[in-house]
Amino acid sequence: MSSAIVQAVSSIRIPTLDGWRGIAILLVLVDHLQPLRYGQPTNIWTNWIGQHGVTVFFVLSGFLITTKLMQEQAATGHIRLGRFYLRRCFRLMPCAWTYLLFVLLIRGATFTTSGEFASCILFFRNSLTLEGFPTTLHFWSLSIEEQFYLVWPALLLLAGAQRARWAALALASIVAVFRLLTWHSTIDQPIVASFATALRADALLIGCATALFQNDPRVRKAVQAIPGPAVLGAIVLCLYFFHRFIPLGESIMVAVLILRTSMGGFPTVGKFLEWRPLATLGVMSYSIYVWQGFAAELEARNLHRLPLVLLGLAVVSTCSYYGIEKPFIRIGRSLESKPDHMPAAAVMES
């Protein structure tokens, strides 16, 4: 793959997606840093609202990564799995591993007592219990994503775009049904259940399916016909009534909003999503998400400490984004653009 093509594929951006990332990280921060009274959240409605933010991240991730894979296939005729994993590695690992090293240096041997260190590095933190080191707990969502992307690109490659989009919908439905069937056995442990890949992968799959259906004229026409207030109202109802378990309908509504705004629909919403402060927050959302795990433990929920903690998080996240994320992304792209003689794996079209 030539350097020009790599740059063209990797530089394609949909402006509104940064705004959605900004909204997602705000939901997480409201949950993790909300003030406490006598050890309990002051507003039960905002308790677990970060789960909805993660759902937005999951749908976005499936949508964006699948879109980029298909753009690569359209530009070059191929999808190279090795290059995909190279991009993922240089995009995610440096920031995450720097955070883990920092926590290890601060906390010492306590960090390794229950295997958290290995589970975070190898991305199976969501398989552990809630016991152990709390500042690595948020790696559950990163673990789900990485586990998912060990499987999805290969499925897309083998099945082809036409079959893969129906497979994504079918698998998302299976996950949703499985969640319903296990509802009674997990209702007393909603957060533990939310960490299971088999109970949360439907959001990622809906994002993938959205990317594969986005150029279908019938789908675009149907999405454009949905009244904006109806979709926004459905999202609000999901936030209000389903504050612990995340239903499949919420992921679908999020996908509709993402697709509609990326197509230029809902111009007022689109302008808000492109509002620079929100978009900037979205651009830096990965660093913020990684480092907020430590901030949430520093008694940040005591209201008088919250401004200082937020300021510290802003400084650390900015340093992480400009000092770790961006340089390593550039390194990954430079390695990706080097020519090789490995045979390319073509995406099979049905």
User: What integer best gives the mean pLDDT of the chain?
Assistant: 83
Q: What band does 44 get if pLDDT is binned at 50, 70 and 90? A: low
Q: Which residue segment(s) compose the domain that 211 sits in? A: 3-336
Eight-class DSSP state of 193: H
Residue of 181, 199, 185 lying closest to 245 (CA atoms): 199
Q: How far apart are CA 13 and CA 68, in angstroms?
A: 10
Dist. CA 38–CA 150, nearest whole Å: 43
Which run of H or of E encompasses 41? strand 40-41
Tell me the Ramachandran region of residue 13: left when phi exceeds 0, alpha when psi lies from -120 to 50, beta otherwise.
beta
Instruction: Enter the pTM of the model.
Output: 0.88
Would residue 342 count as lying in a domain? no
78 CB contacts (<8 Å, ≥6 apart)?
A: 1, 72, 344, 345, 346, 347
Q: Which residue has the higher pLDDT, 137 or 325?
A: 325
Give one DSSP letter per residue of 271-310, joined into a string.
Answer: HHHT-HHHHHHHHTHHHHHHHHHHHTTSSTTSTTTHHHHH
- Distance between the two ends of the chain, CA-based, in angstroms? 24
The predicted pLDDT at position 193 comes to 64
φ/ψ of 109, rounded to 5, equals -65, -20
Tens digit of each residue's pLDDT (9 = 90 or more) over 203-223: 999 999 999 999 999 999 998
Residue 134 within any structural domain of the chain: yes
Residue 343 belongs to a domain? no
Query: What is the number of other CB atoms lying within 10 angstroms of the CB of residue 129?
Result: 9
Higher pLDDT, 165 or 47: 165
pLDDT at 251: 94
pLDDT digits (tens, 9 = 90+) for 243-300: 666 789 999 999 999 999 988 878 888 899 999 999 999 999 999 999 998 887 765 5
The encoded tokens of residue 7 equal: 């740059």
- Please say if the pLDDT value at position 197 is more than 50: yes
What does the pLDDT average to over 55-61? 96
Quote the pLDDT of residue 50.
87
Check if the beta carbon of residue 100 is closer than 8 Å to that of residue 93: no
Residue 341 included in any domain: no
- Cβ burial of 127 (10 Å; 0-12, 13-18, 19+) is middle
Query: Which pLDDT belongs to residue 244?
Result: 62
pLDDT tens by residue, 72-109 = 888 888 888 988 999 999 999 999 999 998 888 887 66
The answer to whether residue 345 is domain-embedded is no
348 lies in some domain: no
Higher-confidence residue of 34 and 173: namely 173
Chain centre to alpha carbon of residue 253: 16
Q: What percent of the chain has pLDDT over 90?
A: 46
How many other C-beta atoms are found inside a 10 Å radius of the C-beta of residue 206?
31
**Number of separate domains in the chain:** 1
More confident of the two residues 347 and 113: 113
DSSP state of 342: P
Q: What is the pLDDT of residue 3?
A: 42
Lowest mean pLDDT among 35-44, 141-150, 246-255, 324-333: 35-44
Could you tell me which residues come within 8 angstroms of residue 129 by beta carbon, excluding any fewer than 6 positions away? 192
Per the listing, tokens 């883990």 go with 100
- Considering the domain boundaries, does residue 350 fall inside one? no
